[in-house]
Amino acid sequence: MDTRAKSPSTTTFRAGAFQRRLALIFGLQLLAVAIAVLMGIYDVAPLGAVLALIAIISVLAWLAARREWRPVSTLAGVLKRWNEQRPDLDSLQPERLSRRTDADVAALARGLHGFATRIADYNLRERNFTRDASHELRSPLTVIKMSTDMLGDETALSDFGNRSVQRIKRAAREMEAVVEALLILARESERTGTEEHFVVNDLLHSLIDEVRQVLDGRPVELWLDESARFALHAPPRVFAVLCWQLIRNACQQAEGGRVVITVLPGMVTVANQAAASTALAEQHPGFELAIAQRISERFAWPLELPAGEGGERVAKVRFPEPLPA
């Protein structure tokens, strides 16, 4: 037995009320039409009057059914006008429904209100987390980078110390890229207010310069093949993070030699000669490819990973809406 006290303001909805009222409406309509037909058969009323009566009965039945359907229409209108950026949770409150509303419709409104409330709470937690994480993660990385730059200028450092400073710099830059990628994926509305017009080739030039600094000392050469030139209207840092992950993955798999980044019409490819020891890795993409896949799906930039000839591995990113540079 449920002993919980109910709030006096709680609205009670009758289960099956909608079906019963519709059955009553159509039952009365059928009865009225049958009477009108009998009146016509026995010449109680002229045919024109009978047809007019049937039409009036049908219109009244339609208006009554429409009135019963109004709570469902109202709920559908609220969902059509729903703004994800500024959700109006009160519009889904079951208490705002008419007392004549069927219990099933009220249960649907209550469920939608619960889902909307949870989504709003999730979005608030997401914004708070990404804001705090962005500050708390980037600040130490900035301190590390500044400190290593200052240490690099010290003339008294030994060769071992200089090598250690360079390793710290590379690790800090790689960590910075990982943090940037994770924050992009953590934000539900990354596109809002971040889209810019930029030339893909220019951004790749600066990105490759950064990657070369990270690869300092490794036998890998980066080569940019500009077979085409195009622009995008998109978040530039998202594009940079996506390409960074693909280039870094290619450099890790390359035994040595060259990693070629090619700009084609509406497409960027990253190709490398994979080492023999990484042949099995094609079935198990690494962290970089996993991040790149999620970014490409998020921003509708299809990512393809076909196998090239002679052990060559190629990553292709297509951009559906390229712009002239």
Task: Give all domains of the chain, ordered by start, each with its CATH number.
Answer: 196-324 (3.30.565.10)
Q: At what angle do helices 47-80 and 17-41 cross, to 10 degrees?
A: 160
Res 9: pLDDT: 41
Res 141: pLDDT: 84
pTM of the shown model: 0.62
Alpha carbon distances (Å) from 150 to 163, 173, 217: 14, 16, 21
Alpha carbon distances (Å) from 184 to 121, 192, 231: 19, 12, 21
CA angle centred on 162, ends 161 and 168, rounded to 5°: 90
User: Residue 123: what residue type?
Assistant: N
pLDDT tens, residue order, the chain (325 aa):
344 434 434 566 566 666 677 777 778 778 888 887 777 777 777 777 777 877 887 888 787 777 777 777 778 887 887 777 777 777 777 777 666 677 777 788 888 888 888 888 888 887 788 778 777 888 888 888 888 888 878 877 788 888 888 888 888 887 888 888 888 777 765 554 578 899 999 999 999 988 887 776 678 888 999 999 999 998 898 899 899 989 988 888 776 678 999 999 999 999 887 655 444 444 445 778 888 898 898 889 999 986 655 567 889 999 999 999 7
